[in-house]
Amino acid sequence: MRIISWNVNGIRAMSRNIDEDSLLLLFQKLEADIICMQETKVSRKSDVPEEILHVDGFESFWSFCKVKRGYSGVVTYVKKKLTVNATVAPFNDSKYDDEGRIIVTDHHDFLLCNVYFPNGASGEVRRKYKLDFYTKFEELCQSYVNEGRSVVIVGDVNTAYDDIDVHKTPEELGLDFQYAERIWMTRFFELGYVDVFRHFHPQVMKFSWWDPKTRKRRSNLGWRIDYCIISNDYLDRTHESDILTEQYGSDHCPVYIDLDIGTVPKHKTHNLSSEYKRQKQSSIMDFFSIQPAPNKKRKRDQLDAGNPTVKKKKNNTSNF
């Protein structure tokens, strides 16, 4: 299975900016089974164009920001029949759930967290919120692990963890550069989580975000702030993780992880799935659709043809 993660910086804009003619062609090009997108910037499902909401062969799960329009938001696209459960409010705390920053989907073998972590660069209030969000997320993951679940985490962490993950030198960055964030990531990894790209590519300097205002992508002066992270128990089922720097469409590029999964048991479509309402509407349409009895249709055809042998009878029956 391949899981793609991409901060698209506006899903409608991304869909116009990519070279591919549709999201389906993009997913096929990326060889993706699951695609997690962050910063969708849509506030409700009715704002999502049909061709983005429904991608052939996939179901989508959306989390929208409730506190500010056109802000934040994440979506997880999954090939059909692979998702047994989902939640967009895993913290049970509106302070952290209502910005639309997380979706957790259950794929039987593992839980997948698609996360758009806060930025924190606008001032101390948002910096504190970012660090508090980190702590709440750590507690959430630990609760899953304590239940015996394997955890896969993908998304925009909004932190360059090590000096190799940013193009500037330590001297240019300063001693306090994302110090608290780096301390948290170190603690998180020590709890038993693995930065999968760095596991497979320990010395590779590769970036996933470039400042669009200064057009740094042309000279590849960027940051690695998008991650694929797994709980340590799933490491032996992971084959590769890399950064797709040649994919354009956003100020970020996609990252991915390849892993093995077992068979997902049969299950009902979850009510958060884009397919749930479709299937419900289809069932209602099927229930109320009326097919005329063959003999009645034949009689009507004969009457229309002016056949005098068939007498027209008054119809007192209801359509329902």
| pLDDT, tens only, 92-120 | 999 999 999 999 999 999 999 999 999 98
Percent with pLDDT over 90 in the chain? 82
Mean pLDDT within 289-317: 49
pLDDT at 281 over 60: no
Residue 313 banded pLDDT, cuts 50, 70, 90:
very low
State yes or no: pLDDT of 183 exceeds 50.
yes
**Phi, then psi, of 243 in degrees rounded to 5:** -120, 125
C-alpha 137/C-alpha 91 separation (Å) is: 8
Over residues 142-156, mean pLDDT: 98
11: CB partners within 8 A, 6+ apart = 37, 40, 41, 42, 48, 52, 73, 75
**Which pTM does this prediction carry?**
0.87
pLDDT reported for residue 318: 28
Q: Pick the residue with more confidence: 92 or 172?
A: 92
Query: For residue 280, what pLDDT band results from cuts at 50, 70 and 90?
Result: low
pLDDT in tens, 253-272: 999 999 999 999 999 999 99
Q: What number of CA atoms fall less than 13 Å from residue 160's CA on the CB side?
A: 21
Asked if 76 and 36 count as a contact pair (C-beta separation under 8 A), the reply is yes
Average pLDDT over residues 156-164: 96
Report the C-alpha gap between 101 and 137 in whole angstroms.
Answer: 11
Confidence of residue 292 (pLDDT cuts 50, 70, 90): low
- Residues designated as active site: 156
**DSSP label at 80?**
T
In terms of Cα–Cα distance, which of 117, 95, 123, 91 is closest to 104?
91
pLDDT above 70 (res 282): no
Q: How confident is the model at residue 314 (pLDDT cuts 50, 70, 90)?
A: very low
